[in-house]
Structure 1
Amino acid sequence: MTTQTQPTAPAVPAGATPGVVELRNVSRWYGNVVAVNDITMSLGAGVTGLLGPNGAGKTTILHMMAGFLSPSKGTVTVDGKPTWRHPAVYRDLGLVTERESVHGFLTAEQFVLACARMQKLPDPAGATRRALELVEMTDAAHRRIGTFSKGMRQRTRVAAALVHEPRVLLLDEPFNGMDPRQRMHMMQLLHTLGDNGHTILFSSHILEEVEQVAGLVQVIVAGRLAASGDYRKIRRLMTNRPHVFAVRSSDDRRLAVALIAEKSVSGIEIEAGGLTVRASDYGDFTRTLPRIALDQGIRLHQLVPSDESLESVFSYLLEA
Structure 2
Amino acid sequence: MTAISTQSTAGAPATATSTLDLAGVSRWYGNVVAVNDVTMRLGPGVTGLLGPNGAGKTTLLHMMAGFLSPSRGTVTLDGAPTWRNPAVYRQLGLVSEREAVHTFLSAYEFVLASAKLHQLPDPEAAARRAIELVEMEDAQNRRIGTYSKGMRQRTRVAAALVHDPQVLLLDEPFNGMDPRQRLHMMALLHRLGDTGRTILFSSHILEEVEQVSGTVQVMVAGRLAASGDYRTIRRLMTNRPHVFAVRSTDDRALAVALMAEASVSGVELGRTGLTVKAGDYGAFTRALPRIALRHGIRVRQLLPEDESLESVFSYLVEA
Give matches, 1:121-140, under 5 Å.
Answer: 121-140=120-139
Q: Offset at 1:143?
A: 0.5
**Structure 1: how far apart are the matches of 2:56 and 2:22?**
14
Structure 1 match to 2:307: none
SS at match of 1:23: strand
Give yes or no for contact 2:51–2:219 (8 Å, CA) kept in 1. Answer: yes
Q: Offset at 1:240?
A: 8.5
Correspondence 1:214 to 2:216: no
Structure 1 match to 2:64: 65
Give yes or no for contact 1:55–1:222 (8 Å, CA) kept in 2. Answer: yes
**Structure 1: how far apart are the matches of 2:93 and 2:131?**
15
Correspondence 1:314 to 2:305: no
Correspondence 1:103 to 2:105: no
Structure 1 match to 2:161: 162
Q: Over the residues paired in the alignment, what is the CA RMSD in angstroms?
A: 2.5
Give matches, 1:166-205, under 5 Å.
Answer: 166-205=165-204
Give yes or no for contact 1:24–1:76 (8 Å, CA) kept in 2. Answer: yes
Give yes or no for contact 1:51–1:219 (8 Å, CA) kept in 2. Answer: yes
Q: Which amino acid aligns with 1:206?
A: I
SS at match of 2:28: strand
Q: Which amino acid aligns with 1:74?
A: G
> Would the alpha carbon gap of residues 53 and 309 (structure 1) be closer, same or farther in structure 2, given more than 3 Å must change?
farther
SS at match of 1:139: helix
Q: Offset at 1:206?
A: 2.1
Give yes or no for contact 1:107–1:141 (8 Å, CA) kept in 2. Answer: yes
**Structure 2: how far apart are the matches of 1:106 and 1:170?**
24
Q: Offset at 1:204?
A: 1.3
Tell me the alpha carbon deviations over residues 65-109 of structure 1, each in whole angstroms, 9 at most, x when there is no partner: 000000000000001000000001000000000000101111000
Give yes or no for contact 2:15–2:196 (8 Å, CA) kept in 1. Answer: no
Give yes or no for contact 2:49–2:202 (8 Å, CA) kept in 1. Answer: yes
Give TM-score scaled by structure 2 length: 0.72
- Structure 2 unmatched ranges of 5 or more: 1-13, 243-263, 268-273, 278-309
Give yes or no for contact 1:24–1:74 (8 Å, CA) kept in 2. Answer: yes
**Structure 1: how far apart are the matches of 2:203 and 2:316?**
13
> Would the alpha carbon gap of residues 64 and 111 (structure 1) be closer, same or farther in structure 2, given more than 3 Å must change?
same
Give TM-score scaled by structure 1 length: 0.72
Structure 2 match to 1:52: 51
Q: Offset at 1:207?
A: 1.7
Q: Offset at 1:242?
A: 6.6
**Structure 1: how far apart are the matches of 2:152 and 2:49?**
22
Tell me the alpha carbon deviations over residues 227-283 of structure 1, each in whole angstroms, 9 at most, x when there is no partner: 01113223556898479xxxxxxxxxxxxxxxxxx9449xxxxxxxxxxxxxxxx95
SS at match of 1:67: coil
Tell me the alpha carbon deviations over residues 109-141 of structure 1, each in whole angstroms, 9 at most, x when there is no partner: 000000000000000000000000000001000
Query: Which deviates more from structure 2 when the two are superposed, residues 178-187 or residues 199-208?
Result: 199-208
> Would the alpha carbon gap of residues 235 and 109 (structure 1) be closer, same or farther in structure 2, given more than 3 Å must change?
farther
Give yes or no for contact 2:230–2:312 (8 Å, CA) kept in 1. Answer: no
Q: Which amino acid aligns with 1:203?
A: S
Give yes or no for contact 1:211–1:231 (8 Å, CA) kept in 2. Answer: no
Tell me the alpha carbon deviations over residues 177-200 of structure 1, each in whole angstroms, 9 at most, x when there is no partner: 110000000000000000001000
Q: Offset at 1:313?
A: 3.5
Number of residue equivalences: 247
Identity, % of aligned pairs?
Answer: 74
> Would the alpha carbon gap of residues 242 and 263 (structure 1) be closer, same or farther in structure 2, given more than 3 Å must change?
closer
Q: Offset at 1:309?
A: 10
Structure 1 match to 2:140: 141
Q: Which amino acid aligns with 1:315?
A: V
**Structure 2: how far apart are the matches of 1:206 and 1:239?**
26
**Structure 2: how far apart are the matches of 1:208 and 1:122?**
40
Q: Offset at 1:208?
A: 1.2
Give yes or no for contact 1:83–1:89 (8 Å, CA) kept in 2. Answer: yes
Give yes or no for contact 2:16–2:43 (8 Å, CA) kept in 1. Answer: no
